[in-house]
Amino acid sequence: MSLQVAALHSSIRERIINSTHIQEIIKMAKWECSVCGYIYDPEKGDSISGIPPDIPFETLPDDWVCPACGADKDSFEKMEE
78 or 8: which leads in pLDDT: 78
**pLDDT score of 14:** 64
List pLDDT tens digits, range 19-58: 555 555 555 799 999 999 999 999 999 999 999 998 999 9
**DSSP per residue, 37-81:** --EE-TTT-BTTTTB-SS--GGGS-TT-B-TTT--BGGGEEEPP-
Taking residues 60-70, what's their average pLDDT?
96
62 or 9: which leads in pLDDT: 62
Number of folded domains in the chain? Answer: 1
* Residue 25: domain span: 3-78
- CATH number for the domain spanning 64: value is 2.20.28.10
